[in-house]
Amino acid sequence: MTTAPTARQGAVGTAHTRVEGRDKVTGAARYAAEIPFPGLAHGWLVLSTVARGRIRALDTAPVLAMPGVRTVLHHGNAPQVATDYPGLMGGKPDPTAAVFQHDRVPHPGWPVALVVAETPEQAREAAEALVVHYEQEPHDVVFTADHPRARPTGGFGPAVTEKGDLEAELAASAAVVDAEYTTPEEYHNPMEPHGATARWEDGRLEVVDSNQGTMWVAGELANLFSLDPSAVRVRSEHVGGGFGSKGVRAHQVAAVMAATVLRRPVRVVMTRRQMFSLAGYRSPTAQRIRLGADADGRLRALEHRSLSLTSTVHEFNESASAPSRVMYDADAHHTVNSVVRLDVGTPTWMRAPGEAPGSFALESALDELAEKLGVDPIDLRLRNEPERGPVSGLPFAGRNLSACFREGARRFGWADRDPRPGVRRDGRWLLGTGTAAASFPAGAGPSTAAVTAEADGSFTVRINAADIGTGARTALTLVAADALDVVPDRVRVRIGDSDFGPAMIAGGSTGTRSWSWAIRLAAAELRERLAPDVRVPPEGVTVRSDTTAALGALTQRERHSYGAQFAEVAVDPATGEVRVRRMLGVFAAGRIVNPLTARGQLTGGMVWGISMALHEEGVRDRATGGHYGADLASYHVAAHADVPAVEAHWVDDHDPDDPVGIKGIGEVGIVGAAAAVANAVWHATGVRHRHLPIRPDRVLLAGAPDA
């Protein structure tokens, strides 16, 4: 296939505002919990206040007598669900969503009941009045780097990769870095909370939801409730952010149970506070990196060990050694991903899982090595550009990391940089700059699409994509327009409906690529069918595609997006305050479909990187296991005042095996961003910060050159 099917200038690569933008800013676009249903009842989840134990009793009688209350569902009366089925990607499903099936409480914030009433206020008041008696057991919620129950496990990739004699290569090295890094619990916090409405309609279960893949949710609901997949429809038209958290969760399952019991539509929405217990989060990590290099910077030894936590009910491994398996080779190369099971909720995918925390440790360690060797940090990375995947041994599907660094250095003004730390001042501020590399896997998942030529000359694309704020709907409109050789105005893209058939979820930075592929296949066949003299009947002409076979025939390559991150910070040594003054990223992320929304996605990722470096931290109370400050007032995410000039650019890059040349830009923007900030803080102050976030108290404790 070629990327430029026609002589007419293509829409792909040109800037377009969001096709649903007007609907969103005028309020015409409705989010899941805003859509009205006649006869709607409202469910409110009751979460465990103990960290571990059993439910002895629930005093439901007084609550059932409260105004508007229709039922209280709990383990004693809720419908049974199946839990023994293959989950997403063949793994075991996270039983967190299979609510009210037993009396065990495996972690704080475990859903123990759903109170359903006529109004959300009545449901909330009754839920808060429900007295639950527990039999408490001792709990362990404290994550430590040397936890005795930690053990290596597979996650994204194997538990352990190993080649060469690490100790011998370290001993033979001219410079060695051996450092430990930690990152805290981090919470997705999409603006739109999770919310679902379930109802039965002519024997079919219909769920209106906010998620990252309606097939995913529909499939799990069918499995849980032992329904034929065709008897479940899930829709999710507009999604106010997901960041990995919007899959199958307690609220959808509880809503289906209540709709089944009450035989009327039931809506369950999470509060912001409940999201900290029910929506997943990023595990904290404790990472140890050992690097050994020759005097010229060539790596002889690289070891990356990562420990994360998981719950006692389901295993999720943050796999933070992932970037070391792709970024740099060494004669001795060891990586290990371990987990420890604690009495906490199950962590999940969040904003570049693995790579975001892993790149903080790895790219900080590279900066420390550059300092020790007296080599420029960019030169050090360029001298270690591998020929092939260090662990996979596969050729790269284009890497272009050096092009990103060259272009980034030029735009950022790196050439004039004085490498000495702690010598630049602006009044009370110490100034510094830092850089780091970024990478994230690029892939595609099997998808189907239907493209219809309408009798009026327009085209309708139906694909079960999810636009979680990325601009996917708009990108797909541009891809479809080019594939059909028409202007984007003549193409309508409908997404977020499981009745459209299977498609990849919006996850793993694979959405736009996966869906574009399916649209291209269907559009190509449609164009063949629509010979110039073919008259389109009133019902239109529809062609369906399925990319399963095409993806199965893909060439084996190590496929990643890459990037170079740059940051300038100012540090006040008297208050410990760190301000990012500017950030700049240059990415090699395949063909960029819509420069306008792509820039937003990449700068958004970089802002999350600032947030990760300086602000985000979920803190638990050891005594109760619960969170301190489970709200956006206490859990600070970078706000407008924290975000200075942030620029994202890209270099020419093109996946050789993708029909459009796409790789994926969903997550690479956050990768390396926190390390660039931390490296800049070192350059400003001469002090290394190996523990995120770089809070004022940590800056003060670590000290800095005299103010």
CB of 242 to ligand MOS, least distance (A): 6
CB-wise, 212 or 685, nearer to ligand MOS?
A: 212
Q: Which two tokens stand for residue 198?
A: 């379930």
Quick check: 705 and 573 in contact, CB under 8 A?
Answer: yes
CB-wise, 240 or 576, nearer to ligand MOS?
A: 240
Site for ligand MOS in 197-216 (CB under 6 A): 212
Sort 588 into a burial class: Cβ within 10 Å, 0-12 / 13-18 / 19+.
Answer: buried
Quick check: 459 and 490 in contact, CB under 8 A?
Answer: yes
Site for ligand MOS in 320-349 (CB under 6 A): 349
What number of H helices and E strands is found in the chain? 16, 27
Q: DSSP class of residue 105?
A: E
Residue from 192, 407, 617, 667 carrying the catalytic annotation: 667
CB-wise, 73 or 670, nearer to ligand MOS?
A: 670
CB-wise, 93 or 353, nearer to ligand MOS?
A: 353
Stretch that binds ligand MOS, among 130-138, 154-162, 242-250, 381-389 (CB under 6 A): 242-250
682 near ligand MOS, judged by CB under 6 A: no
Q: Which two tokens stand for residue 267?
A: 């809506």
CB-wise, 112 or 610, nearer to ligand MOS?
A: 610
Alpha helical stretches, state H, 583-650: 595-614
Give exposure, 460-494, as e/b (b: 16+ Cβ within 10 Å): bbbbbbbbbbbbbbbbbbbbbbbbbebebeebbbb
Q: Which two tokens stand for residue 185?
A: 């619990």
CB-wise, 281 or 562, nearer to ligand MOS?
A: 281
Sort 348 into a burial class: Cβ within 10 Å, 0-12 / 13-18 / 19+.
Answer: buried
CB-wise, 353 or 357, nearer to ligand MOS?
A: 353
CB of 667 to ligand MOS, least distance (A): 6
Strand partners, 21: none
Calculated CA dihedral for residues 375, 376, 377, 380, nearest 10 degrees? -50
605 near ligand MOS, judged by CB under 6 A: no
> Residue from 357, 507, 573, 590 that binds ligand MOS (CB under 6 A)?
507
Cα 237 from Cα 235, distance rounded (Å): 6
CB of 238 to ligand MOS, least distance (A): 16
How many chain residues are in contact with ligand MOS, going by CB under 6 A? 10
Cα 393 from Cα 390, distance rounded (Å): 6
Phi-psi region of 225 (alpha: psi -120 to 50; beta: other; left: phi over 0): alpha
Alpha helical stretches, state H, 246-354: 250-262, 272-278
CB-wise, 32 or 239, nearer to ligand MOS?
A: 239
Quick check: 561 and 442 in contact, CB under 8 A?
Answer: yes
Q: Is 368 part of the annotated catalytic residue set?
A: no
Stretch that binds ligand MOS, among 119-127, 237-245, 443-451, 492-500 (CB under 6 A): 237-245
CB-wise, 386 or 600, nearer to ligand MOS?
A: 600
> Residue from 106, 242, 357, 422 that binds ligand MOS (CB under 6 A)?
242
Quick check: 703 and 686 in contact, CB under 8 A?
Answer: no
CB of 212 to ligand MOS, least distance (A): 6
CB of 310 to ligand MOS, least distance (A): 16
> Residue from 150, 301, 350, 602 that binds ligand MOS (CB under 6 A)?
350
- Report CA 610 to chain centroid distance, whole Å: 16
Cα 636 from Cα 616, distance rounded (Å): 6
Calculated CA dihedral for residues 284, 291, 605, 277, nearest 10 degrees? -10
> Residue from 353, 354, 563, 585 that binds ligand MOS (CB under 6 A)?
353
CB of 440 to ligand MOS, least distance (A): 10
- 3 state SS for 85-96: CCCHHHCCCCHH
Strand partners, 136: 53
Quick check: 388 and 350 in contact, CB under 8 A?
Answer: no
CB of 349 to ligand MOS, least distance (A): 4
> Residue from 351, 417, 620, 627 that binds ligand MOS (CB under 6 A)?
351
CB of 674 to ligand MOS, least distance (A): 16
Stretch that binds ligand MOS, among 236-244, 292-300, 317-325, 453-461 (CB under 6 A): 236-244
Stretch that binds ligand MOS, among 239-247, 376-384, 479-487, 562-570 (CB under 6 A): 239-247
Q: Which two tokens stand for residue 683?
A: 């350059």
508 near ligand MOS, judged by CB under 6 A: yes
Tell me which amino acid residue 563 is. G
SS3 480: helix
CB of 275 to ligand MOS, least distance (A): 15
CB-wise, 338 or 510, nearer to ligand MOS?
A: 510
CB of 83 to ligand MOS, least distance (A): 24
Q: Which two tokens stand for residue 453?
A: 């030529």
Residue nearest to ligand MOS (CB): 244
Quick check: 308 and 287 in contact, CB under 8 A?
Answer: no
Cα 397 from Cα 553, distance rounded (Å): 15
Site of interaction with ligand MOS (CB under 6 A): 212, 242-244, 349-351, 353, 507-508
Instruction: Provide the annotated active-site residues.
Output: 667
